[in-house]
Amino acid sequence: MTQALDLAAIRAQTPGVKEKLHFNNAGAGLMPQVVLDAQLSYLQTEALNGGYETAVLMASEIENSYTAIARLINAMPDEIAVVENATVAWAQVFYGFPFKAGDRVLTTESEYASNFIAFLQLKKRLGIEIDVAPSDETGQVYCGQLEAMIGPKTAMICLNHIPTNGGLVQPAEKVGEIAQAHNIPYLLDACQSVGQLHLDVDELKCDFLSATGRKYLRGPRGTGFLYARKGSMDLLEPAVLDLHSAKWTSSTAYKMRDDARRFENWENNLAAKVGLGVAADYAFGLGTGATEERLVNLANDLRKKLSSIRGSEVFDLGERKGGITTFSLAGHDPFTMMAKLREQSINTSVSDRESTLLDATRRNLEPMLRASVHYYNSEEEVDRFVEAIEAL
């Protein structure tokens, strides 16, 4: 059962919607007022009391970010590390894993540039191999093929839950079942899906999940988090350790922390960390089932309306689709479209080829205009957006 959303209240709590028609949530979502207030209040306290002293004064607000994130994804607070962004969260696991020459990483055709660059770097550095499972006719990963590609050297499965360049939602739960059945560590990039979909790490069966704060979670920029399952944490040592994540115990030894904070490092933006916790509370409070349902319906409506415009082509793949839509308009350059829309206070972005090169090459994609809706967007905004595209 999903609870009903009060759209008017949600929009009143989102100052940005009065200024802009914001369809760039896959870039960065608009923060709710409470997230902004939490950060301003923290910064004010810091300015008046000093940074270290404020960390003591506001320790419970800082701790809240762990409990709030854990509750949002059905994890335990000690399985959460708060870091700078999704890339750092992902890299702490990937580069920390004890790969050996000949080990294989299994991934998909929707993989994100930064992750694939990391595969290539370890291929060059250590001699790992990269296996890319094909997509099925709907555009999602072909799970049967993915499973058939698992061999004795498969050391990790890396899945991108929702790619940056469209509506596709990968079958992350099914991939989790396969990973578990074969006892292979499973690293899920949930950068675009956290805050967009209802996520439960037990249903996803992932060992590690990386996410960002600024996108669908509507948190501050420069925040991200890692979920590391308790039983899986010791499969690796984080790529970077410091005096926060480990203790220097003798001239020849150190001891890592027992919890997921071993993936963090000492210095970070505590105002943003507090804001991230408030964003996670806010998302949980609205109900992730209800917000997912609303944004999926809005995006489906948008896709339908865009498809009926002469000369338009919508590129979203998948049996299941989320809030991101990418499309083109014949004879129109997407960068120029984005600029023209911005002049009308409409925010979008452009998905280029390089951010998802395997997919772009396979489908022969050129840069596409990306409109990514959130639950706080309104039906009227969808119509206004479609009219603006038609007017182009």
Q: Which is nearer to ligand PLP, 67 or 114 (CB)?
A: 114
Q: Which is nearer to ligand PLP, 96 or 163 (CB)?
A: 163
Could you write out the DSSP letters of every residue in 234-275? GG---S---TTTEEEEETTEEEE-SSGGGG--S---HHHHHH
Question: By rule CB under 6 A, what string of x and - marks binding of each residue 104-143 to ligand PLP?
Answer: --------x-x-----------------------------
Q: Which of residues 302-361 bind ligand PLP (CB under 6 A)?
A: none
Bridge partners, residue 107, by sequence: 132
CB of 212 to ligand PLP, least distance (A): 3
Question: Which region, judged by CB under 6 A, interacts with ligand PLP, from 15-23, 28-36, 83-91, 301-309?
Answer: 83-91
Q: Which is nearer to ligand PLP, 27 or 77 (CB)?
A: 27
When binding is defined by CB under 6 A, the residue of 17, 70, 86, 360 that contacts ligand PLP is 86
Question: Which region, judged by CB under 6 A, interacts with ligand PLP, from 189-197, 239-247, 285-293, 365-373?
Answer: 189-197
The Cα 280–Cα 283 span in angstroms is 5
Q: Which of residues 212-231 bind ligand PLP (CB under 6 A)?
A: 212, 224
Question: Which region, judged by CB under 6 A, interacts with ligand PLP, from 84-92, 126-134, 249-257, 258-266?
Answer: 84-92
When binding is defined by CB under 6 A, the residue of 189, 207, 281, 352 that contacts ligand PLP is 189
Q: Which is nearer to ligand PLP, 112 or 186 (CB)?
A: 112
When binding is defined by CB under 6 A, the residue of 87, 135, 328, 372 that contacts ligand PLP is 87
CB of 187 to ligand PLP, least distance (A): 12
Q: How far apart are the first and last CA of the chain?
A: 41
Residue 276 makes contact with ligand PLP by CB under 6 A: no
- Give the residue carrying structure tokens 């350790």: 241
Total residues in contact with ligand PLP, by rule CB under 6 A: 13
Calculate helix-pair angle for 270-286, 288-307, nearest 10 degrees. Answer: 80
Burial 163-191 (b: 16+ CB within 10 A, else e): bbbbbbbbbbebbbbbbeeeebbbbbbbb
Question: Which region, judged by CB under 6 A, interacts with ligand PLP, from 43-51, 85-93, 228-236, 368-376?
Answer: 85-93
When binding is defined by CB under 6 A, the residue of 85, 154, 312, 351 that contacts ligand PLP is 85
CB of 29 to ligand PLP, least distance (A): 12
**In angstroms, what CA-CA distances link 201 with 80, 205, 207, 250?**
12, 6, 8, 37
Q: Which is nearer to ligand PLP, 14 or 192 (CB)?
A: 192
**In angstroms, what CA-CA distances link 255 with 32, 244, 258?**
40, 11, 9
Q: Tell how many helices (H) and how many strands (E) occur in the chain.
A: 14, 15
Q: Which is nearer to ligand PLP, 21 or 211 (CB)?
A: 211
- Give the Cβ contact number of residue 359 at 10 Å: 26
The Cα 134–Cα 108 span in angstroms is 7
Q: Which two tokens stand for residue 338?
A: 């984005």
- CA-nearest of 163, 171, 142 to 325 is 163
**In angstroms, what CA-CA distances link 203 with 94, 293, 338?**
22, 18, 38
Q: Which of residues 138-177 bind ligand PLP (CB under 6 A)?
A: 160, 163-164
CA angle centred on 182, ends 261 and 199, rounded to 5°: 50
Pairing of strands 312-314, 154-160: unpaired
Residue 191 makes contact with ligand PLP by CB under 6 A: yes
Point out which residues bind ligand PLP (CB under 6 A): 85-87, 112, 114, 160, 163-164, 189, 191-192, 212, 224
